[in-house]
Amino acid sequence: MGVVTPPKTPKQDRSRATRLRLLEAAVACLAEHGWAGSTVSVVAERAGVSRGAAQHHFPTREDLFTAAVEYVAEERSAALRTLPVQGRAEVVAALVDLYTGPLFRAALQLWVAASNEEQLRPRVTELEARVGRETHRIAVGLLGADEEKPGVRETVQGLLDMARGLGLANLLTDDAARRRRVVTQWAALLDGVLD
């Protein structure tokens, strides 16, 4: 007989559910109130969890918020990987969408806080690099880009930089109409390089 994974106990299930509630509350809190307004207590209350339970899962504030951004980034990556293959314009639009929702807002708050706080900086730098590499890999796959061809790697990188910039442009105002036109044009430019 093979190795049998023991079924999860109800206690483990509850612990996992608590952890997820905390992670989701942390991202929403960061996106809405910024780093200065995001403490473990505020997140615990929002998640309906005691402060003690929150600290059991995440000993420090830095642990909680970096784990939260990483978790949501992984969720988004997983969703993107299962995107049905469509035209290039749709793929570009889906990549750009990564940078216009609450996850990007939360990540942006964390990056900007990390630029001023030595304590946060190394962890966020490392997280950003990991998420960035993963997003690049997914983009290459979805776009059907052959990185052996000269210029293709830099073209995909530039596209993701543009997506990040479009996210920033959407921070204070709804930039969707302009963004659609820019995405359409740049998707056409990509075709010239990638095909």
Footprint of its own copies on residues 33-92 (CB under 8 A)?
A: 33-37
Q: How far is the CB of 195 from its own copies (least distance, A)?
A: 14
Piece of 53-61, 82-90, 135-143, 168-176 that binds its own copies (CB under 8 A): 168-176
Binding mask 128-157 for its own copies (x = CB under 8 A): xx--x------------------x--xx-x
Which tokens belong to 140?
Answer: 């290459």
Using the Cα atoms of residue 112, residue 113, residue 115 and residue 120 in order, give the sign of their dihedral. negative
Contact between 182 and its own copies by CB under 8 A: the answer reads yes
**CA distance linking residue 31 with residue 16, whole number of Å:** 23
Strands (E), 31-136: none
- Closer CB to its own copies, 80 or 108, in the complex: 108
CB under 8 Å to 103, separation ≥6 — which residues? 27, 31, 69, 72, 73, 76
Distance CA 76, CA 121 (A): 23
Q: Which of 113, 139, 142, 143 binds its own copies (CB under 8 A)?
A: 113
Q: Which is nearer to its own copies, 15 or 39 (CB)?
A: 39
Place of tokens 């109409």: 177
CB of 180 to its own copies, least distance (A): 10
